[in-house]
């Protein structure tokens, strides 16, 4: 993954589910075709919750299961197709191509849980959210292209 010269960094505390939903709404409002959002964190850090909230903010009303077993779920939201990946079970980063990752970014956007399984295949313009459990809820470190900076406001 190449370095982006115009990068922003922020750290937020998400004290409750409402704060997570608010961040998800900000991400969803700026998501466009070609975007990848990498959701980093240990088990229970809130990756799937944030992905669900992003999808709900985009208008998904159906159940949004974790794609742990299917590895990818695709949602046709109003105006944008979004693929939700869970790479935890990948044996090789090459499998990401077999799962249509490049096509997903051509046709829409991708939410990627466990991106550490194939970081070299993420676009340089990926928005990275590193979630962790904190004393006061969840904490998230955000890095990405400058165009995402206002999601941390």
CB half-sphere exposure, 21, CA atoms < 13 A: 5
Say if residue 20's pLDDT is above 80: yes
Please indicate, yes or no, if residue 60 is contained in any of the structural domains.
Answer: yes
Phi, psi at 62, each rounded to 5°: -75, 170
pLDDT digits (tens, 9 = 90+) for 34-80: 999 999 999 888 899 999 999 999 999 888 877 676 789 999 999 89
If one counts the domains in the chain, the total is: 1
3-state secondary structure of 97: helix
Residue 1 covered by a domain: no
For residue 5, the model assigns a pLDDT of 54
CATH number of the domain encompassing residue 101: 3.40.50.300
pLDDT in tens, 96-125: 788 889 999 999 999 999 999 888 889 999
């Amino acid at each position: 993954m190449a370095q982006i010269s115009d990068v922003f960094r922020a750290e937020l505390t998400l004290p409750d589910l409402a704060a997570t939903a608010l961040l998800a709404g900000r991400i969803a409002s700026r998501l466009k075709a070609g975007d990848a959002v990498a959701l980093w964190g240990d088990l229970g850090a809130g990756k799937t919750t944030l992905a669900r909230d992003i999808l709900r903010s985009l208008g998904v009303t159906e159940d949004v299961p974790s794609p742990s077993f299917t590895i990818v779920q695709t949602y046709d939201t109003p105006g944008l197709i979004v693929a939700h990946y869970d790479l935890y079970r990948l044996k090789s980063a090459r499998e990401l191509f077999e799962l249509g990752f490049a096509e997903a970014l051509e046709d829409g956007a991708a939410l990627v849980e466990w991106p550490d399984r194939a970081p070299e295949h993420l676009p340089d313009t990926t928005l990275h959210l590193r979630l962790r459990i904190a004393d006061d809820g969840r904490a998230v470190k955000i890095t990405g292209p400058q165009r995402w900076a206002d999601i941390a406001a």
